[in-house]
């Protein structure tokens, strides 16, 4: 039987142990473990990598601790604009959505775009119309309200800056969410979901809903989900770059991820990280920041949950 593997992330950035209480750290570890187990249990039951990725991300989207779904940050207008993408490695099928609001689980809408439409990316009101036709679960604005997020927005709005979560030296609610998986059928999948950046304007879109930049999966190489300063991940086509180094240069998953995150991305001024899994079930967790919320589990029953650069 093919070795099953899954990895998840909840964002990378200035995450310092000194900034956490024991209770706060425990809450993050519990949330990561819940999402990890949701995805891994699906793989154990011989569900597809796509299904496992969706289930893991739903758990992260349902937690107010992470910047996706319920925990999404506020825009300049005091609203929420969410992005998500998912891709399967067998046929390179993908679905992405951007600039949606009131959708409880954006990753599920992205999966519906992949499976139920002839398109790859839907945005704004068109994506909302599609969500209604697909009978997605909607929530009222107050479902997405979080006091920490609101204060974060007020501070950013007062100083008229666009605030990237992972640049703030605070101990909670940092970053994009993502998941990658290898199933018993030997197929790979990757997914990413985010609320974007605090106080964003003009319909700003980062790398999370862009195939090749924030998300990529190819059965010949790997599945990748990224987190960090989206503009740099777009310019570096980061997720696809890892796959290219593996396919055309013969690099291992670990070496390809390390080259992209700690060399190529740094050279253009980018910070952040990524998670990856290859066709053999090997896992990579690469980041050039002080920490990244991350976890993984493989079919040899090993399980790792980590936060800091350790």
pLDDT digits over 217-270, tens only?
Answer: 999 999 999 999 899 999 999 999 999 999 999 999 999 999 999 999 999 999
What pLDDT, on the 0 to 100 scale, is given for residue 159?
60
Supply the Cα-derived Rg of the chain in whole angstroms: 17
Q: What is the pLDDT of residue 2?
A: 76
**pLDDT for residue 160 is more than 70:** no
| CA 214 – CA 230 distance, rounded (Å) | 8
Six token digits for residue 27:
């809450």
Specify the DSSP class assigned to residue 198: B
The predicted pLDDT at position 158 comes to 61
pLDDT one-digit tens code per residue, 119-135: 999 999 999 999 999 99
Confidence (pLDDT) at 33: 98
Q: What is the CA angle 200-291-96, rounded to 5?
A: 45
Query: How high is the pLDDT of residue 170?
Result: 44
Round the average pLDDT of the chain to a whole number and report it: 92
- Which structural domain range is residue 205 located in? 5-308
Question: How far apart (Å, rounded) are the C-alpha atoms in residues 243 and 214?
Answer: 12
- What is the model's pLDDT at position 161? 54
Q: If we measure between CA atoms, which residue out of 76, 21, 22, 82 comes closest to residue 57?
A: 82
- Which pLDDT score, from 0 to 100, does residue 75 have? 86
Q: What is the CATH number for 185? A: 3.60.20.30
> For residue 102, is pLDDT > 70?
yes
d(CA 127, CA 140): 17
pLDDT tens across 177-200, in order? 999 999 999 999 999 999 998 888
Identify which of 126, 120, 119 has the alpha carbon closest to the alpha carbon of residue 100: 126
Q: Which residues are catalytic?
A: 176
Tell which residue, 190, 234, 195, has the closest CA to residue 213. Answer: 234
pLDDT at 104: 98
Residue 169 has pLDDT above 50, yes or no: no
pLDDT of 302 above 70: yes
- Residue 40, pLDDT > 80, answer yes
User: What percentage of the chain's residues is helix, strand, coil (to nearest 5)?
Assistant: 35, 25, 35
Residue 164 pLDDT exceeds 70: no
Residue 172 has pLDDT above 50, yes or no: no
250 exposed, middle or buried (CB, 10 Å; 0-12, 13-18, 19+)? exposed
Nearest to residue 7, comparing CAs of 198, 232, 287?
287
Q: What confidence score (pLDDT) does residue 145 get? A: 84
DSSP string, 10-53: EEEE---GGG--HHHHHHHHHHHHHHHHHHHHHHHTT--HHHHH
The number of residues in the chain equals 310
Q: Is 60 exceeded by the pLDDT of residue 162? A: no
Cβ-based neighbours of 90, under 8 Å, separated by 6 or more: 187, 188, 219
At residue 74, the pLDDT reads: 87
pLDDT at 45: 97
pLDDT at position 20 is 87
Measured in whole angstroms, the distance separating CA 153 from the mean position of its chain's CA atoms is: 21
Number of domains in the chain: 1
């Amino acid at each position: 039987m093919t070795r099953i593997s899954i990895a998840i992330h909840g964002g990378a950035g200035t995450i310092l142990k000194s900034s956490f209480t024991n209770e706060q750290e425990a809450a993050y570890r519990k949330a990561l473990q819940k999402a990890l187990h949701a995805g891994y249990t699906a793989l154990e039951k011989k569900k597809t990598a796509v299904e496992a990725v969706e289930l893991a991300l739903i758990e992260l989207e349902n937690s107010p601790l992470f910047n996706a779904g319920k925990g999404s940050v506020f825009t300049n207008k005091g609203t929420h604009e969410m992005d998500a993408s998912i891709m399967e490695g067998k046929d390179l099928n993908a679905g992405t959505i951007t600039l949606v609001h009131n959708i409880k689980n954006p990753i599920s809408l992205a999966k519906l775009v992949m499976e139920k439409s002839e398109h790859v990316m839907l945005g704004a009101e068109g994506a909302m119309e599609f969500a209604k036709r697909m009978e997605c679960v909607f929530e009222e604005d107050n479902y997405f309200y979080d006091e920490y997020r609101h204060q974060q927005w007020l501070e950013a709005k007062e100083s008229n800056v666009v605030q990237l979560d992972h640049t703030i030296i605070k101990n909670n609610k940092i970053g994009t969410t993502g998941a990658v998986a290898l199933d018993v059928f030997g197929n790979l999948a990757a997914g990413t979901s985010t609320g974007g950046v605090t106080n964003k304007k003009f319909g700003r879109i980062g790398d999370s809903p862009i195939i090749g930049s924030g998300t990529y999966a190819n059965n010949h190489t790997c599945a990748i989900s990224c987190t960090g300063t989206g503009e740099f991940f777009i310019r570096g086509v980061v997720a696809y770059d890892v796959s290219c180094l593996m396919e055309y240069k013969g690099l291992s998953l670990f070496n390809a991820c390390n080259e992209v995150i700690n060399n190529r991305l740094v050279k253009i001024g980018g910070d952040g990280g990524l998670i990856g899994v290859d066709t053999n079930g090997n896992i990579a967790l690469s980041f050039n920041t002080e920490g990244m919320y991350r976890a993984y589990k493989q079919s040899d029953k090993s399980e790792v949950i980590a936060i800091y650069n350790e």
